[in-house]
Structure 1
C-alpha cells in the first residue's frame, strides 16, 4: 500500500509545475500578474505539503504555535509591504525581498548547524570525506556564504536605490556612498577565499562556533563590499544578480534540510535570475565581471562647453499639433519625478487627435529590470503600447516627434562610435525622429559621464525643468490649442 507521505510528494510536483508556469508567465507584462499568482500558489502548496510531511514523520511537529505565528507574521508583513509601497519604490522593495530570501536560507543553515553539530550526541564521521558527512556540511556552508552575502548586499542595494537613509532617532538624511578603490577587489577576493577555507575547515570540526560565526561575519562583509562600489546605472544588473543568488542560497538550503521542492524552486530562480543578469549586461554592452569589479564611466565626467537655448511648453505644443506619430521614451527621470500619470495623460490627448502613440522601452532604463514597465502599467498604459528597443527602433525614421523624459545615456548617439564608456551599448534611436523633445533638468551628462550630442542638434527641443512640472505645463498647452 502506498504511504501517505509518498502521496504528498505529488504536492511537490504540483508546486514545482506552478513555479515553472509562473516564471514563464513573468516574461510578459500582460501575463506577469497571473504568473505572480501561480508562484505564490506554488509556494503555498509547498508550505502545506512540508508541514504535513513533518507532522507524519516520527514524533510529529512540536510547537505548532511557532509555525502558525511565523506564517501569520510573514503574511502580514508581506501584505503590508506590497500594499503600501509606491510604484516608484518598487526597485527598493524588490532588492529588500531578495535580501529576505537570502536571510531565510542563511538562518535555516545556521539553525541546522547549531542544532546538529553542536549537540553532545554528534559523532564526527571517520573518514570525514564520506558522502553523508561531506554533502550536508558543504551545503550548510554554501548556503550560509551565499545567503548572508545576499542579505547584506541587498540591503546596500536598497539604500543605494533610495539614495540614502535617515539616521535612527534623528531627521538627518545621509546619502549612501559609492566607494570602491581598485585595491578593494583584492580584499573581496581574500574574504571569499577565507570563507571557502573556513567551510572546508568545518569538515574536521563542524561544531566549532568560531568557524560558524566566522563564516557569517565574512559573508556579511563580503555582501557589503561587493555592492558598495557599484553605481546607480548598474543597479538593474545588481538587482537581477542578487535575485539569482537568493535562489541559489535556497537550493543549497534544500540540500541541507532534504527538501526537493526547495532545490527545484531555488535552482529555477537562480537560473532565471542569472539569465536576466546577462540580458541586462548585454543591453549595457557590459561584462558581468566589469560590473562587479570595475567602475562604469570612470571617475571623470566630460565638462560641458556647449550651450542650448531651452524651449517652452507652448512651442512644443505647436510642433505636436497635426502630427501623426509620436514615440515616448521614458527614463529614470520619469521615475524620480513620478510623472508617469501625466505621461499617460499626454498620450491620451494625442490619441484623441488620431495620433499613433507608443512607448520605447530600453532594457536597462531605470534602476531595476522592467522599471519603466512597472511605472507605466501603474498609470494604466496598455501593455501592447510598451515596445522593446529592438522592435521599435526601426519606427523612429517614420516618427514625427520623439518625446524623451528623463533619459540620457540610453539615447546617446556616442554609443554608436564604439569608443568611450558607452561604446557599443545598444541605444534607442530617438535621434532618427523628425523632432526630438527632451525633458531634463539640465544639459548635465549621464551616469557614463559622456556629453550627449543629441541635445545640441537643431531638431532637438529641450524643456529644462522637473519632469512632473514640464509634463503638466505641456499637457495644459496642448489642451489650449
Structure 2
C-alpha cells in the first residue's frame, strides 16, 4: 500500500510543525515532557510517511532496522543511570551524525556503481557523464546522477556528519572515563588543519565530478580523523559546549542529506536541530565568557598550576552535625549542585534535606550554573528527577544578587563554577568565566570527597576562604548525615 504524494507531503508538514512546537515546549522544564512527546509523534509520522513513498525500496529491511534500533534505544534508555546521561547523549548524537554521513557515502558510492553499469564497465574512471549517456536507461536503476547543488550539499553533509560521528564517540569515551581528559602533542593545531584541508580538498574534487571509490574512501577517512583530532585535546570542563556543538553539526548534516534525498521532513528537522544546537552552543560559550573557537582550540582544562595567584589560608573542615545546625537556624539557604552530586547520585538525599529545612521555615533555593555537569541542563534533569519544584531552581543571573543576603550556601559537587579566581586571576585558565558568587554568602559549606581540583585542574580559592567550611565525604553519605542530624534536632 502506498499513499498519494500530496498526503505524504501533508504528513511531512504536520511532522515539521510538531518538531517546532515540541522544541518550543522543551524550552521550559514545566512543558519539556510534553514537548518531547510532540516531537516524538512528529518523528513517527515522518518515518511512516517515508516508508509509504511509492518508490521506496527494501521496506522490510528498513522496518527491521527501525525495530532493532527502537528496541536497543528503549533498553539502554531504561537502564542508563542519570549520571551516565551525558555519555548517552553524546553517543546518540554521534549516531545521528554517522547516519547522515552514511547517506552521503551511499549516494557517492551509488554514483560510481550506477555509472559503471550504464557504461558497461566494472567501474568508471571519473564522473560525470553527460545526460545523453544515461538517459536511455533512466528508470532502470535506483539512483540517477545528482545535480551539482545536491552533490555539493551531499558531500558537505557527509563531511560534517563524519566529524560529528567520530568527535561524539571521543566525547563519549572521555565522559565514560575511557580516555584521559586531554590529549595534546606538539604541532597539533597544524596537523588538525592539514587533515581538515585535505578532507575539504578531496570533497571539492568530488563536487567537481571526480567521484571514484578511492577518493571517497580517503575523504571519509580524513573527515573521521579530523573529528577525533579535534576532540582529543578538549578538556572535560568544555564537554557541555562540545556536545551542544556536535548536536548542531548533526542537525546540519541531516538537513543537507535531506536535500539530497528530496525528503522535506529531514530538511526541516535537521534545520531545527542545527539552529537550536548552534544557539545553545553560543549561549553556553557566552556563559563561560569564551568563543567557540577558544573552546575548540584553547587551553581550558590544560592542567594544574596555571593560576599564578597564591591562595592564602587553609581548608577548614566541619562536622555534619555542626553544618546541620548552621542551616537549621538560617533564614536563607542556597544549594549549589555540581557534577559531584551526579556521581554520588545524591540528588534525592539533597532534596530530602532541603524539604526538612523548608518545613522549619528556611527559604531554600537551588542555584544552577549554565555549564554545571557534563551536558546542557544536566543539573536541571537531576533535580527534576528528585522532584525538586521548578520554582526553586534559579539560574545564575537571577541567583547571584541574592548571595550577599544568603546565610548559608551549600555547595555539593561543584568546583570550577564557584571558583573566585575566575574574577581575580588573569593568568587562570578560567579567568573571565561567569561564576556563581557563592563566596559572597555569609557562610559556605562545601561537600567534597577530598582536596582534589576540578576539571580545569586548578585549586579553588573558595575552599580556603574565611567563611568556607569543608564537609568531606561522598555526596550521598554527607547528605544522608545532614538529614539524620536535622531529624535529630527536630526530634
TM-score by length of 1: 0.91
Report how far residue 198 of structure 1 moved. Answer: 0.9
Which residue number corresponds to residue 150 of structure 1? 164
Provide the C-alpha distance between the structure 2 equivalents of 1:203 and 1:349, rounded to a whole number of angstroms.
65
Match of 1:466 among 467, 470, 474: 474
Asked if structure 1 preserves the Cα contact closer than 8 Å seen for 2:255 and 2:271, the reply is yes
Does residue 1:389 correspond to 2:389, yes or no? no
Does residue 1:339 correspond to 2:346, yes or no? yes
Q: Deviations over 1:439-475 (max 9, x none)?
A: 1123333333443332222321211122122112121
Which residue number corresponds to residue 291 of structure 1? 295
Which residue number corresponds to residue 327 of structure 1? 334
Does residue 1:82 correspond to 2:92, yes or no? no
Q: Deviations over 1:11-53 (max 9, x none)?
A: 111111111111111111111111111111111111122222x
Provide the C-alpha distance between the structure 2 equivalents of 1:449 and 1:271, rounded to a whole number of angstroms.
33
Report how far residue 230 of structure 1 moved. Answer: 0.5
Does residue 1:402 correspond to 2:403, yes or no? no
Asked if structure 1 preserves the Cα contact closer than 8 Å seen for 2:51 and 2:59, the reply is no
Asked if structure 2 preserves the Cα contact closer than 8 Å seen for 1:304 and 1:444, the reply is no
Bigger Cα displacement from structure 2, 268-277 vs 428-437: 428-437
Which residue number corresponds to residue 139 of structure 1? 153
Please state whether the residue corresponding to 1:365 is helix, strand or coil. Answer: coil
Does residue 1:234 correspond to 2:229, yes or no? no
Which residue number corresponds to residue 440 of structure 1? 448
Does residue 1:428 correspond to 2:423, yes or no? no
Please state whether the residue corresponding to 2:283 is helix, strand or coil. Answer: helix
Provide the C-alpha distance between the structure 2 equivalents of 1:272 and 1:344, rounded to a whole number of angstroms.
31
Asked if structure 2 preserves the Cα contact closer than 8 Å seen for 1:125 and 1:133, the reply is no
Q: What number of residue pairs does the alignment pair up?
A: 461
Please state whether the residue corresponding to 1:403 is helix, strand or coil. Answer: strand
What is the root-mean-square deviation of aligned Cα atoms in Å?
Answer: 2.0
Asked if structure 1 preserves the Cα contact closer than 8 Å seen for 2:26 and 2:35, the reply is yes
Please state whether the residue corresponding to 2:147 is helix, strand or coil. Answer: helix
Asked if structure 2 preserves the Cα contact closer than 8 Å seen for 1:144 and 1:215, the reply is no
Q: Deviations over 1:160-184 (max 9, x none)?
A: 11111xxxxxxxxxx4452123511
Report how far residue 369 of structure 1 moved. Answer: 0.5
Asked if structure 1 preserves the Cα contact closer than 8 Å seen for 2:100 and 2:253, the reply is yes
Provide the C-alpha distance between the structure 2 equivalents of 1:466 and 1:62, rounded to a whole number of angstroms.
56
Provide the C-alpha distance between the structure 2 equivalents of 1:206 and 1:50, rounded to a whole number of angstroms.
31
Asked if structure 2 preserves the Cα contact closer than 8 Å seen for 1:334 and 1:406, the reply is yes
Unaligned runs of 5+ in 1: 165-174
Q: Deviations over 1:196-222 (max 9, x none)?
A: 111121245554100111111111111
Which residue number corresponds to residue 117 of structure 1? 112
Asked if structure 2 preserves the Cα contact closer than 8 Å seen for 1:103 and 1:150, the reply is yes
Unaligned runs of 5+ in 2: 120-126, 132-144
Match of 2:387 among 380, 384, 389: 380
TM-score by length of 2: 0.89
Q: Deviations over 1:405-458 (max 9, x none)?
A: 011221122222362322221111112222111111233333334433322223
Does residue 1:248 correspond to 2:243, yes or no? no
Bigger Cα displacement from structure 2, 382-391 vs 363-372: 382-391
Q: Deviations over 1:290-334 (max 9, x none)?
A: 111121144442587742231110111121232222110001111
Asked if structure 2 preserves the Cα contact closer than 8 Å seen for 1:443 and 1:455, the reply is no
